[in-house]
Amino acid sequence: MPPFLSEARLPHDAIPAPVIAFRTAHAAVLPIPFSRASAAFSCLFRIDTSGDRNQMGDKLSTEEILAAIRGGSSPAPDSAASETENQDTAPAEDENPAADEKADASASESSADDQADAPKPAAKPAPTGTAGILDAIRSGGAGSGASAAGGAKQDKPSSAPASGSASAAPKSTADILAAVRGGAGGAKSAASKPAKKKSAETPAVDSEAVRGLSAAEIIRAARQGQPPEVAEKKPVPLPSRPLKPKLVVRSADEMDLPTSRRGFVSRFFAWITTPVVLAWTAFTATATIASLATARFMMPNVLVEPPTKFKIGPPSDYPPGTVSTKWKAQFGVWIVNNEIDGQQIIYALSTVCTHLGCTPNWLEGEQKFKCPCHGSGFYKSGINFEGPAPRPLERMGIRLAPDGMLEVDKSVKFQQELGQWENPASYVPVV
Amino acid sequence: MDPHPDLTSSVLTGLGWYYLIMCVMNVLWTVRSYRVDGQVPKSVPWIGGIPVAAFWASFSALLMMVSVAYFTGTRSPETFPLRLPDSFKDSFDAVTANPVVFFALSVVGFVAMILLRRIWIKDTVAWLLLNGALLFMGLSMTDWDFRQIVGKPDNVPIVGMLFILGFLTWIYFRRAVDNDDRIAAGQPLYEQEDNEKVLVWPDLVYTELICMVLLTALLIFWGIALKAPLEEPASSVKTPNPSKAPWYFLGLQEMLVYFDPWLAGVVMPMIILGGLMAIPYIDFNRAGNGYYCFRDRAFAVSTFLFGFLPLWVAMIVLGTFLRGPNWNFFGIYELWDVHKVESANNVNLSEYFWEWPLFRSIYGGIPRGGDVGTILIRESPGIVAMIAYFALLPPILGLTILRRFMARMGVIRFMVFSNLILWMAILPIKMLLRWTVSLKYIVGIPEWFFNI
């Protein structure tokens, strides 16, 4: 059992208060089947608190590590991984516990002295920048972790977990973090504890020296190469960590679900009245109504558009060989009286270019429609002959109304490339 | 009174300021030349021993006199003599008012830019080029039509862009040639030797702040001085003539002249964007990382610059300055005549193929009919050509002239690469075909809205 659990020990087999409240409330106000159903649901998502806290929390977060360094009494994993090779090569020098009060650098020197391959950062001048500090940490191993190992060894060399990071200088940031997690985690309890308590499970740690200091103070101290001056070493009690409920899914027979039809109905009712279902149902309904309301705009009450069928006057208004542009602005059609294949006909051409939809202009001098956007050109017949337009202009429907007027129907169109210009609805013969 | 006067009093005043600024620039250059350039070699007859700066001093004096002349001639602009002669304008238009010539000139200029890079990166040559461009602008401003196009508020940024682009290209080539020489001589690179690393604060942030203030001031001045060209309310049945895209899309609009809308407006822009994004994955050349160079990356740089300068920037210039009403091609000194007739009669490849006398005598002309088989047979020449172009050409290239690329890239990467190159090449190919043989579409199936 790691020591931090002894500080904030959880009640075993305790049912969390919310669950209890949930059950009792339902039992109080609801008929029996419903309370049974709620019990079934609470079985489904039973909150289990009896598990060992340590199984979930053996990896420390950065905040916890920082708190460990600052407060010294931080939670620590029972890092079996860190009880490693260093037990044999652990330093056994006769340093009194006061040596542990030294700064990180000097402490790591003392432990590193026994490492044949370990460099001696403390022998060097004090690191001057962040990079220097990092280098010092890299070469010397995690200082506090190493010193913790040293401090632990001299009291309880057999059981104290030596910091794994002291064995070899970590190379990367990940190594350093691992070292801090393992070593500084190993430094969980106060370094002075070997001197004071000599508890079997409590490894010594040098982070006593830096306990209660801010990160800036630690770095400044490391720059000066001197131990940080600690005003007071009162251990700050850690706040108890919030519970992390554990989800346990029980098997069906274990849940003892009711099987009657009545039970099913009541269960469904219980499910349908849960807040999340209500909320999503309301949201879906609202969204559906909004979509339908928007779709209503597709069928407006009043359509402010020119009619698709309109009279354009008698055929005599359009003498042979002319292109009339008088309906272009209003309806977007040219009325052409032209001879095609030996037959004099009147037809209505759409004013939309078949290339990209610009509006061409009728050039009387050149007898062609010319698009200003990309230079497509069309003959009077509507056939494309220059520029990028891939197909001829489209004809609109046209007919001779019973009253002798020409009537254009824009709702139908006739495309030459599909052979639709043969359709008699696409032209009116001039007699 | 001429409704289109070449010169007015305000134009003369503006040009007076223009030449005065040029004069000041050249005076500063004279000072620099006096310090740096030294003397003309003694061996040169007549002018040997004279400081080079003397020529710049006399050029500055000439500019000053021109400026004074413009300022003092404002009373009688009709008779002012310093203007571009009509004979020059007519001959210039006759040669350049033609997309073929324009495109050919842009390609020639591009090749010359790369081949002559050692010459034009020199300070004096670059300054001569700048002066030449400014003189050309100033003289052309005495033409009414040129002024209408270049002076349009829409087009001012394009004129500015041309100068900025020239400057940035010049900087690139200057640095690249410098580093090429260093590599050849075994010296350290410019970026290593003259390490310009500075601190973010204050060096960079201060510079950015100053740039921000200056640019804001410039934009405010611009927004006040040049009005946004608003037009009449939009109408679905009335299109302005000519109708031009925003200036940065004019290259795209020029592409639309030669291709179907979905191809030039959708497919090819996406290929352009995707191809640009694919460059880091296609590129196998490890040289040239983090320093300017040309020789190490000659292929990559040339390909990119070809796609950027002749195929994009030159198209923007063409669309801005040279396309007029009805999207006809106009010279820069030519009046935008709505009724200018350009006869063209574009023909699809299938018509060329089936109406060819030999095939006509055998098959009796182009197949007619709307069913699928007939359409496919009708367009088979174009379809075969396209399949050959996109499917057969890459392996052929990879096994012949681009063998080294295929070996370095692997098959898949090479296929992607070669297809992107072929897509880039299809634009000038189609342009040339349109200009030379009036080809409308290689594959033209208007029934299915499928045209290439």
Inter-chain CB pairs, A–B, below 8 Å? 87
**Chain A: residue whose CA lies nearest to B347:** A385
Is there a contact between B242 and A361 if contact means CB atoms under 8 Å apart? no
In a domain, A75, yes or no: yes
Q: What is the pLDDT of residues A317-368, one digit of tens each?
A: 999 999 999 999 888 899 999 998 888 999 999 999 999 888 999 998 889 9
- Identify whether B41 is part of a domain: yes
Task: With respect to residue B33, please indicate whether it lies within any of the assigned structural domains.
Answer: yes
Measured CA to CA, the distance from residue A377 to residue A361 in angstroms comes to 9
* B-chain residue closest to A352, CA distance: B237
Q: Domain ends where: A172, A205, A224?
A: A224
- CB contacts of A373 in chain B (<8 Å) are 239, 242-243, 253, 256, 327
Write down the pLDDT at residue A213. Answer: 62
Domain membership flag for residue A405: yes
A419 to chain B: closest CA residue: B370
- B260 to chain A: which residues are within 8 Å by CB? 355, 388, 390
pLDDT value, residue A165: 40
Give per-residue pLDDT as tens, A256-275. Answer: 555 556 688 888 888 888 99
pLDDT recorded at residue B128: 96
- More reliable by pLDDT, B23 or A233: B23
Give whichever of A176-180, B164-168, B261-265, B400-404 has the largest mean pLDDT: B164-168
* Residue B17, pLDDT above cutoff 90: yes
CA-based nearest distance B241→chain A, Å: 5
Asked if residue B211 belongs to a domain, the reply is no
Residue B449's pLDDT is 82
Amino acid at B207: T
pTM of model > 0.80: no
In sequence order, the β-bridge partners of residue A248 are: A46
Structurally, how many domains does chain A consist of? 2
Residue A144 lies in a domain: yes
Domain boundary among B32, B61, B81: B81
- B101 found inside a domain: no
pLDDT at residue B138 in the model: 94
Using a pLDDT cut of 90, give the percent of chain A over it: 22
Nearest CA in chain B to A389: B260
The verdict on residue A44 lying in a domain is no
pLDDT recorded at residue B46: 82
Is A335 part of any domain? yes
Reply yes or no on whether the pLDDT at B219 is more than 90: yes
Q: By mean pLDDT, which of A172-176, B167-171, B327-331 is the weakest?
A: A172-176
Q: How many CB atoms lie within 10 A of CB A67?
A: 18
Residues A196 and A329 in one domain: no
- Over the stretch B287-340, which tens digit does the pLDDT of each residue have? 888 899 999 999 999 999 999 999 999 999 998 899 888 888 898 898 888 888
Mutate which of A354, A356, A373, A421 to test chain B, going by most B C-beta atoms within 10 A?
A373
Is the residue at B284 inside a domain? no
Residue A176 is predicted with a pLDDT of: 63
Q: How many CB atoms neighbour CB B363 within 10 A?
A: 13
pLDDT at A87: 44
Q: How confident is the model at residue B354 (pLDDT cuts 50, 70, 90)?
A: confident
Within 8 A by CB and 6+ apart from B395, the residues are none
Asked if B151 and B15 count as a contact pair (C-beta separation under 8 A), the reply is no
B256 to A355: CB separation less than 8 angstroms, yes or no? yes
Contact B295, B287 (CB under 8 A): no
Separation CA B92–CA B112 (nearest Å): 21
CB A349 within 8 A of CB A396: yes
Mutate to test the interface with B, among A349, A363, A370 (most CBs of B within 10 A): A370
Q: Could you tell me which of A426, A421, A275 has the C-alpha nearest to residue A348?
A: A426
Q: Which residues of B touch A423 (CB under 8 A)?
A: none
Runs of H (alpha helix) within A129-245: 130-140, 143-155, 173-179, 185-186, 193-196, 215-224
Nearest CB neighbour to B446, from listed A330, A359, A390: A390
The verdict on residue B431 lying in a domain is yes
CA distance A394 to A392: 6
Residue A133 has a pLDDT of 63
Any domain includes B395: yes
pLDDT at A178: 65
Distances (CA, A) of A206 to A73, A85, A124, A192, A229: 12, 20, 20, 8, 14
Q: What is the pLDDT of residue A227?
A: 56
Number of domains in chain B: 2
pLDDT of residue A134: 62
CB contact under 8 A, B447 and A418: yes
Domain boundary among B53, B81, B109: B81
pLDDT greater than 90 at residue B25: yes
State what percent of residues in chain B have pLDDT above 90.
49
Which of residues B37 and A44 earns the better pLDDT score? Answer: B37
CB B259 within 8 A of CB A388: yes
- pLDDT-derived band at A163 (thresholds 50, 70, 90) equals very low
3-state class (DSSP) for residue B179: helix
What are the structure tokens assigned to B160, written together?
């500015």
Lowest mean pLDDT among A101-115, B404-418, B437-451: A101-115
Helical axes A143-155 vs A104-112, angle rounded to 10°: 60
Please name the amino acid found at residue B316. Answer: I
From A224, A242, A263, give the residue that closes a domain: A224
Given a cut of 80, whether residue B269 has pLDDT beyond it is yes
pLDDT at residue B226 greater than cutoff 80 = yes
The CATH number covering residue A351 comes to 2.102.10.10
Taking contacts as CB-CB distances below 8 angstroms, the residues of chain B near A396 are none
Question: Which of B24, B55, B81 is a domain's end point?
Answer: B81
- Among the listed residues A400, A356, A360, the one whose alpha carbon sits nearest the alpha carbon of residue A382: A360
Contact B326 A417 (CB under 8 A): no
Of A182, A199, A224, at which residue does a domain stop?
Answer: A224
Range of the domain at A391: 312-429
Report CA Rg, chain A: 45
Q: Is A284 within a domain?
A: no
Q: Are both A334 and A196 inside the same structural domain? A: no
Give the pLDDT band (50/70/90) at residue A129.
Answer: low
What average pLDDT does chain A have?
66
* Closest residue in A to B438 (Cα–Cα): A386
Classified as helix, coil or strand, A362 is: strand
Domain assignment of residue B68, given as a range? 1-81
Question: What's the mean pLDDT in B174-198?
Answer: 88
CB-CB under 8 Å, A365 with B345: no
Q: Give a yes or no: residue B71 inside a domain.
A: yes
